[in-house]
Amino acid sequence: MKNYFRFLIQALAIFILAMPATAGPIRIKDLVEFDGVRGNDLVGYGLVVGLNGTGDGIRNAPFTEEIMSNILERLGVNITGEQFRPKNVAAVFVTASLPPFSRAGGQIDVTVSAIGDAKSLLGGTLVMTPLNAADGQIYAVAQGTIVAGGVSAEGDAGGVVQGVPTSGVIPAGARVEREIDFEFASLDTMRLALREPDFTTAARIEAAINASFGRSVAVMLDSGTVRLDVDRTQARSPAHALGQIENILVEPERKARVVVDQRSGTIVMGEDVRISRVAVSQGNLTLRVEERPIVVQPNPFAEGETIVVPRTDATIEEEPGTGLAEVPPGTSLSEVIAGLNALGVSPRDMIDILKSIKAAGALHAEFVVR
């Protein structure tokens, strides 16, 4: 059974290695970010009520009592000097992302996370919470019932937790109150920022846009930026210009890259990975040290004392390994895979071999370890 699972894992890794790295032409809007078309992060500090005894302990989270007092006073309830210890409230951070071109009255999703010692937010309701941007202005107000993504249960001698019950979401839980001041329609030029900067890809985007319009409207500024002249496109607005170019197909150029995940033993190699002619030998060395102390006692009714005599067994075991195998020059991904599989090692051992090949200067690709 153990050999079967080892074979299954190795076969899965070989399948991942054999996957192609490119998927043909890709739309421009999947390769770039348009200048000014971006979201804005929002954050707020609020109170969740209606918890079933799983809220903050006021002694351990005094800020919960403070915000609760402030909310009640704004509602006209005077609690000065009163002592209360509710267990159904919790202080939370509320985060959201304001999408580009959001208009007042629109709704966005929010994420609610406990910051005190609350055990669960399941079934709680977020009280009206202003959400601020980096400039300190309020752009949205959040309120609603929390949908928690976990559950917890406990008894006198233990408990169990599944998921994260101290965090949840409120779909469409915030209403936009202020719009971002951005005159998108007045832009004369616009920059296209590549998500993965590359001179070849930027040049292909420039050529594809110019070919689509039949004249020079795009210029590559560097490996990560292409400038679009909106006026030369003769479009009615920048929005119409982007609508014409965002679906143009471009085949991106990618770096040769090997990505390994040491925790799961996963290996992913790009199509352009090359390995120079190199010889590899792989084997395992095991050092085993075992202590077997012996107790020595004097004869009955004889003088003396009981002592412990140390005794150590030390052995070194070395597996035969794979010998010295040659990996031929990799002119294609399939030949690289065939050369590595010729060693007959597991995916985790293959990760160590790839590291050694990279250190020897024979692996011509970016090596990423996660």
Q: Which of 3-7, 33-37, 142-146 has the lowest mean pLDDT?
A: 3-7
DSSP state of 53: S
Q: Is the pLDDT of residue 221 over 50?
A: yes
Find the mean pLDDT for residues 257-267.
79
| Strand, coil or helix: 37 | coil
Find the mean pLDDT for residues 158-186.
83
Do 127 and 136 contact (CB within 8 A), yes or no? no
Do 110 and 142 contact (CB within 8 A), yes or no? yes
Distance CA 90, CA 148 (A): 14
Angle (CA) 250-252-257 rounded to 5° is: 165
Which residue's entry shows tokens 């070989």? 14
Q: Do strands 285-291 and 138-145 pair parallel, antiparallel, or not at all (unpaired)? A: unpaired
Q: Is the pLDDT of residue 299 over 90?
A: no
Query: For the residues of 349-365, what is the DSSP string, one character each?
Result: HHHHHHHHHHHTT-EES
Reported confidence tier of residue 22, pLDDT bands at 50, 70, 90? very low
Backbone angles phi, psi at 94, to 5 degrees: -115, 125
Distance CA 25, CA 315 (A): 59
pLDDT at 110: 95
| 349's tokens | 């051992």
pLDDT at 335: 66
3-state helix, strand, coil in the chain (%, to 5): 25, 35, 40
Distance CA 170, CA 126 (A): 9
- The helix-helix angle for 199-213 and 238-245 (nearest 10°) equals 110
Do 34 and 225 contact (CB within 8 A), yes or no? no
Q: Bridge partners of 267?
A: 260
Tens of pLDDT, residue by residue over 39-64, are 899 999 988 988 888 887 766 667 77
- % of the chain beyond a pLDDT of 70: 75
Q: Is the pLDDT of residue 12 over 80?
A: no
Reported confidence tier of residue 149, pLDDT bands at 50, 70, 90? confident
Q: Is the pLDDT of residue 304 over 90?
A: no
Reported confidence tier of residue 340, pLDDT bands at 50, 70, 90? low
Distance CA 340, CA 351 (A): 10
Q: What is the largest CA-CA distance in the chain?
A: 113
Find which of 64-68, 179-183, 316-320 is predicted with most confidence, using mean pLDDT. 179-183
Reported confidence tier of residue 137, pLDDT bands at 50, 70, 90? very high
**Of how many residues is the chain composed?**
370
pLDDT at 80: 66
Q: Is the pLDDT of residue 243 over 80?
A: yes
Tens of pLDDT, residue by residue over 88-105, are 888 899 999 999 888 999
Q: Do strands 125-132 and 324-327 pair parallel, antiparallel, or not at all (unpaired)? A: unpaired
Q: Is the pLDDT of residue 230 over 70?
A: yes
Find the mean pLDDT for residues 166-175.
92
Query: For the residues of 106-173, what is the DSSP string, one character each?
Result: -EEEEEEEE-SS-S--TT-EEEEEEEE-TTS-EEEEEEEE-EES-EEEE-SS-EEEES-TTEEEEEEE
Amino acid of residue 180: I
Do 176 and 155 contact (CB within 8 A), yes or no? no
